[in-house]
Amino acid sequence: MYTGKSVKRVDAFDKVTGRTRYTDDLCDRSAYIAKVLHSTIAHGKVLKIDTSEAEKIPGVVKILTCFDLKEKHYFPTAGHPWSTDPGHQDVADRLILTDTVRFYGDDIAAVVAEDEVAASQALRLIKVEYEEYPFVLDVQEAMKDGAPQLHEAFPNNILKHTRISNGDYEKAIQEPGLVKVEGWYDTPTVQHCHIENFICYTEQVNGRIHVVSSTQIPHIVRRVVAQALGIDWGLVRVEKPYIGGGFGNKQDVLYEPLCAWLTLQTGGHLVKLDVSREETFVCNRVRHAIRSHIVSWVRPDGTYAARKLECFSDQGAYASHGHSICAKGAGSFPQLYPCENVEVDAYTIFTNKPAAGAMRGYGIPQAMWAVESHTEEVAAVIGEDPLVFRRRNLMPVGYEDGFSKNKLYTDSFNQCLDKAMEAIDYKRKFAEYQNQTGDVRRGIGMAVFWYNTAVWPISLESSSCRMVLNQDGSFQLQLGETEIGQGADTAFSQMAADVVGVPLEKVHIVSCQDTDVTPFGTGAYASRQTYVAGFAIRQTGLLLKEKILDYAHELTRMPVYNLDIKDGNIVRTTDGQALMSLAELATEALYSLSDSRHITAESTYQIKSNAYSFGCTIAEVEVDIPLCKVKLLNVVNAHDAGTLINPALAEAQVHGGMSMGIGYGLSEKLIFDPKTGRALNNNLLDYKLSTFMDHPHLQALFVENPEPTSAFGTKGLGEPPACSVAPAIRNAIYHATGVAVNEAPVNPHILFKAFTEAGLINDEPKGPSQS
Amino acid sequence: MSNRYKLIKCTINGKEREVMIDVRASLTDLLRNDFRLTSVKKGCEVGECGACNVLINGECFNSCIYLAVWADGKEILTLEGLSDPDGGISDIQQAFIDEAAVQCGFCTPGAIMSAVEILNEGRELSDEEIRIRMSGHLCRCTGYENILRAVKKTMLKRLGKAEQ
């Protein structure tokens, strides 16, 4: 058995020797270089683009502007499976280049040149005339009558509003003796910051468009490039090599359509479009900033009588993943702390800012920030230990969601909490840090999270797998699910080796997806890779095994029911004797003069289930009140991700999510100039991504309750680790200081304001008076 | 235009090289484009992320903000240069594999080169010191935890000490 063991990553050797080829490493040097001209206003119309000076730069091949786009094919960019029902299709609001500018950084023209220097020089010489419109950056301002409008089809900039109404909220709040707790909670715009920026290159080959892209979703890129160009989908071939991280940004179609169009505009030539770090922050996707308003009505016995959530999600200028993110977060609200009377209003609003898309957690980090900050306050208001309050009100074992049919089969929340509390010595520290005084104080806080794996029944979930047997008894394993750094290829190889019955080194995973040859699959998102691929791997592996044993029957004259494959041998189960090796069988199968067979298996499994994946974070902090600085001393995450396929890789995955959560809680925020709408810190120096220095030891713990719906007992782990870290830190700061900060990140700017308001620091200047 | 190009001599991964370069080119460009040493990664091209780190005369630099002309007369070592000719790998590379310190792998080459610089000093560093020395590397996948572990284990092993 390989599943359950921490085998080494199948791609690690090449990665530590520099052999792994990423998109830029594969591109031929004959490629033209494309660079995009971005708007320098936040909202308006491009009136004129003068390229005459730019065209004089030696090496410039062609300059194309929004006015050169003769056929306007609007396309959606979200990495969602296509829906054949028009009512469920993503909003198609993008053009390859646009003359209507909707955010500072919109794509209005592109230079194609022989080299990067010429492209950059030409870009600077292009002159643009605009008609400027007023712009709006705040979600609630954008909803008001008279606010600047981004898209005609969406009055008041409301992309979508959904409502959940359970029970009777208005009646429920009449119950005597209720305590009302209310708060507003804000999360920032943040960016994925995968270390490899987005890059793609395109070329026309035999009349078709060949795209190589750093993407999580090759099959979706194929469809969208074709939609954007207005050509048949089969005319596009997309290859996905190894990628330097994605985290959801590359679960969107980014510049592949523009690059493909530039290839078509330059006679089919190879064109490379390599995006800078500064562009990545603004012109790719960001995480939705969500403002949430929660009202809870609590009974004296510490139970909820009624609850209400309003949330306003900042979509930025284009729909991308749109309302799905806010809806996922809002959908967790009635479930995490179930209550009979709940009202939820979720709004997704266009603003003149970078488009928001998928990012690790998909609305859940925002929702957990709001809900778990609020939970802490509710416990405080009723004078109860937040742990006791949570245990009483959390989703109980046996809870089943009527829509997804997801069920909580085991006591995951309490098991995770117990494990995390023990690891961090929670109870002792919680008592010790009560009622501190002085400038430097310590605190400990917790937060839980709700997450569901995969997307059924909202959209298609299917996974296809192919196994091709070689002469030596090894086989190629192909899947539409993509390796994006998380270790999927290794987990898939472990699963396949177990199902077929061969040593791990006999499984050759084909890491690169190529839409011409890879079985269809929609890619990496929703923490679904091991869950969905597991079904297809098991089904296809059994199919391959059946074909192998059928041939073994021919060769050994033993009945199939007395045969099995173990450790790469055909074994007679009645006495355990190895009758022949799989290599001997496979060679005979290909070269037999009497019965030659190419033994392969391929199948699709449609997944009509998904699974809850729950857990928690506990954080311990030291707060220096006069300096408004928070030092994270200890942090632990505990997860129930079902059975772990590879514990070491699972642990590593949790570390990365925790790191992202720490940044979300303490430092990361993309800031916009209110006067221009321009991003002010779109680089890795001014945008405060956590470094080696910003983390304590990250502790990742697991409770392994096998998921009953899953092919290997496993469920989502990619995104969950990022979901509860920030509110746990916030709650630890609250515990240390008694100051509730409801705006993330809790950086010194925010703390200075909060501590001043709380009277913990005195804003009076201490130096000599200026007068 | 004549002073746009310059002939430089340097040693790259143990081999003496003579190459005509564009004086505006960065060492990253030189290594990636002229020698196809693609372990040298571009994550920001302004010295923020550390993905392009290489050793120059034993010292670790961001090659993206180091001009190729400055490499004249220098000894350059990239990740490719750590493997021996038979394909064997160094202890720190093996530690990155063993400690699951590799995920997407994009920051890995630069991080390993900084680790090499630290390890070659042959002295024991505290966790805090390792963190400071490695802090020029940004990684979004690992939370730095297993990279720290890999560097520390290799350091202790080289010093003949068991991990405490």
Q: Which residues contact A589 (CB under 8 A, 6 or more apart)?
A: A469, A551, A595, A596, A597, A598, A599
Q: How far apart are CA A25 and CA B142, in angstroms?
A: 23
- Give the pLDDT of residue A770: 47
Residue by residue, DSSP assigns A407-471 as B--S-HHHHHHHHHHHHHTHHHHHHHTTT--SSEEEEEEEEEE--B-S-TTTS--EEEEEEEE-T
Q: Which residues contact A43 (CB under 8 A, 6 or more apart)?
A: A101, A102, A103, A132, A133, A134, A135, A148, A150, A352, A677
For A60, A86, A451, A484, the CA distances from A709, given in Å and listed in that order, are 57, 31, 16, 25
Task: Identify whether the C-beta of residue A448 lies closer than 8 Å to the C-beta of residue A724.
Answer: yes
Per the listing, tokens 């330097």 go with A244
| DSSP for residue B71 | G
Domain with CATH 3.10.20.30 in chain B: 2-79
Cβ contacts (< 8 Å) between B112 and chain A: which residues?
A: 16
Task: Identify whether the C-beta of residue A480 lies closer than 8 Å to the C-beta of residue A464.
Answer: yes
Nearest to A659 among B49, B134, B144 (CB): B144
Which SS3 state, helix, strand or coil, does residue A555 take? helix
Residue A557, exposed/middle/buried by CB under 10 A (0-12, 13-18, 19+)? Answer: exposed
Predicted confidence (pLDDT) at residue A452 exceeds the cutoff of 50: yes
Q: How far apart are CA A543 and CA A530, in angstroms?
A: 19
| DSSP for residue B143 | T
Across the range A653-658, mean pLDDT stands at 98
Prediction pTM value = 0.97
In this structure, what token pair is assigned to residue A481?
């699910």
pLDDT digits (tens, 9 = 90+) for A508-555: 999 999 999 999 999 999 899 999 999 999 999 999 999 999 999 999
What integer best gives the mean pLDDT of chain B?
A: 96
Predicted confidence (pLDDT) at residue A673 exceeds the cutoff of 60: yes
Cβ contacts (< 8 Å) between A21 and chain B: which residues?
A: 38
Cβ contacts (< 8 Å) between B139 and chain A: which residues?
A: 195
Q: How far apart are CA A202 and CA A210, in angstroms?
A: 5
Contact B135 A691 (CB under 8 A): yes
| DSSP for residue A755 | H
Our CA-based measurement puts residue B159 at a distance from the nearest CA of chain A, in whole angstroms, of 23
Across the range A370-374, mean pLDDT stands at 98
Across the range A243-271, mean pLDDT stands at 98
- Give the pLDDT of residue A458: 85
pLDDT digits (tens, 9 = 90+) for A601-639: 999 999 999 999 999 999 999 999 999 999 999 999 999
Predicted confidence (pLDDT) at residue A769 exceeds the cutoff of 70: no
Q: How far apart are CA A634 and CA A620, in angstroms?
A: 5
- Give the pLDDT of residue A242: 98
Our CA-based measurement puts residue A479 at a distance from the nearest CA of chain B, in whole angstroms, of 18
Contact B43 A197 (CB under 8 A): yes
Nearest to A195 among B79, B135, B140 (CB): B140
First-last CA distance in chain A: 79
Per the listing, tokens 């069920």 go with A407
**Cα A406 to the chain's mean position, in Å?**
21
**Closest residue by Cα to residue A148 from A347, A353, A345:** A353
Which SS3 state, helix, strand or coil, does residue A144 take? coil
Nearest to B106 among A245, A274, A685 (CB): A245
Contact A17 B38 (CB under 8 A): no
Beta strands A507-509 and A513-514 are unpaired
Closest residue of chain A to B106, computed from CA coordinates: A244
Residue B36, exposed/middle/buried by CB under 10 A (0-12, 13-18, 19+)? Answer: exposed
Which SS3 state, helix, strand or coil, does residue A577 take? strand
- Give the pLDDT of residue B88: 96
Percent of chain A at pLDDT exceeding 90: 96
Across the range A290-315, mean pLDDT stands at 98
| DSSP for residue B121 | T
Residue A47, exposed/middle/buried by CB under 10 A (0-12, 13-18, 19+)? Answer: exposed
- Tell me the one-letter amino acid at A175: E
Residue B14 contacts A, CB cutoff 8 Å: no
Our CA-based measurement puts residue B100 at a distance from the nearest CA of chain A, in whole angstroms, of 6
Our CA-based measurement puts residue B73 at a distance from the nearest CA of chain A, in whole angstroms, of 25
Q: Which residues contact A505 (CB under 8 A, 6 or more apart)?
A: A474
Task: Identify whether the C-beta of residue A85 lies closer than 8 Å to the C-beta of residue A143.
Answer: no
Across the range A704-718, mean pLDDT stands at 97
Task: Identify whether the C-beta of residue A692 lies closer than 8 Å to the C-beta of residue B137.
Answer: yes
In this structure, what token pair is assigned to residue A648?
């070491």
Q: How far apart are CA A475 and CA A466, in angstroms?
A: 10
Contact B140 A649 (CB under 8 A): no
Strand partners, A570: A565, A580
CATH, domain range B91-158: 1.10.150.120
The reply to whether omega before A745 is within 30° of 0 (cis) is: yes
Q: Which helix (H) or strand (E) holds B144?
A: none
Q: How far apart are CA A752 and CA A97, in angstroms?
A: 43
For the four alpha carbons of A348, A351, A357 and A359, in that order, the dihedral sign comes to negative
**Closest residue by Cα to residue A34 from A96, A116, A108, A97:** A116
Percent of chain A at pLDDT exceeding 70: 99
Contact B104 A242 (CB under 8 A): yes
Helices (H), A439-578: 488-500, 529-556
Helices (H), A632-700: 647-666
Q: How far apart are CA A392 and CA A384, in angstroms?
A: 11
Nearest to B100 among A193, A245, A652 (CB): A652
Closest residue of chain B to A658, computed from CA coordinates: B143
Across the range A728-748, mean pLDDT stands at 98
pLDDT digits (tens, 9 = 90+) for A563-584: 999 999 999 999 999 999 999 9
Contact A193 B138 (CB under 8 A): yes
Q: Which residues contact A544 (CB under 8 A, 6 or more apart)?
A: A467, A469, A475, A500, A599, A600, A601
Contact A17 B80 (CB under 8 A): yes
Across the range A706-731, mean pLDDT stands at 97
Contact B143 A6 (CB under 8 A): no
Contact A659 B143 (CB under 8 A): yes
- Chains A–B, number of C-beta pairs less than 8 Å apart: 168
Our CA-based measurement puts residue B89 at a distance from the nearest CA of chain A, in whole angstroms, of 8
Task: Identify whether the C-beta of residue A548 lies closer than 8 Å to the C-beta of residue A582.
Answer: yes
pLDDT digits (tens, 9 = 90+) for B19-61: 999 999 999 999 999 999 999 999 999 999 999 999 999 999 9
HSE at residue A727, side-chain half, CA atoms within 13 A, is 27
Q: How far apart are CA A225 and CA A233, in angstroms?
A: 8
Closest residue of chain B to A659, computed from CA coordinates: B143
**Closest residue by Cα to residue A158 from A4, A319, A337:** A319
Q: How far apart are CA A3 and CA B91, in angstroms?
A: 27
Strand partners, A22: A242
Predicted confidence (pLDDT) at residue B164 exceeds the cutoff of 90: no
In this structure, what token pair is assigned to residue A583?
């290599």
- Tell me the one-letter amino acid at B87: G
- Give the pLDDT of residue B162: 77
Which residues 96-155 of B have a C-beta within 8 angstroms of A? 96-98, 100-109, 112, 131-132, 134-135, 137-148
Percent of chain B at pLDDT exceeding 90: 95
Task: Please report which confidence band the pLDDT of residue A764 belongs to, taking 50, 70 and 90 as the band edges.
Answer: low
Across the range B137-150, mean pLDDT stands at 98
Beta strands A569-572 and A563-566 are antiparallel
| DSSP for residue A399 | -
Residue B33 contacts A, CB cutoff 8 Å: yes
Q: How far apart are CA A217 and CA A215, in angstroms?
A: 5
What strands, in cross-sheet order, belong to the sheet with A127-132? A100-101, A44-50, A127-132
Task: Identify whether the C-beta of residue A172 lies closer than 8 Å to the C-beta of residue A340.
Answer: yes
Across the range A257-261, mean pLDDT stands at 98
Closest residue of chain B to A14, computed from CA coordinates: B105
Mutation to test the A interface, candidates B102, B114, B154, most A Cβ within 10 Å: B102
The fold of B2-79 is Ubiquitin-like (UB roll) (3.10.20)
Residue by residue, DSSP assigns B3-54 as GGEEEEEEEETTEEEEEEEETT-BHHHIIIIIT--TTS--S-SSSSS-TTEE
Across the range A739-766, mean pLDDT stands at 91
Task: Identify whether the C-beta of residue A49 lies closer than 8 Å to the C-beta of residue A127.
Answer: yes
Task: Identify whether the C-beta of residue B109 lies closer than 8 Å to the C-beta of residue B41.
Answer: yes
Q: How far apart are CA B42 and CA B49, in angstroms?
A: 9
Domain with CATH 1.10.150.120 in chain B: 91-158
Cβ contacts (< 8 Å) between B97 and chain A: which residues?
A: 8-9, 12-13, 16
**Torsion angle defined by CA atoms of residues A489, A491, A497 and A499, in that order, rounded to the nearest 10 degrees:** -120
| DSSP for residue A701 | E
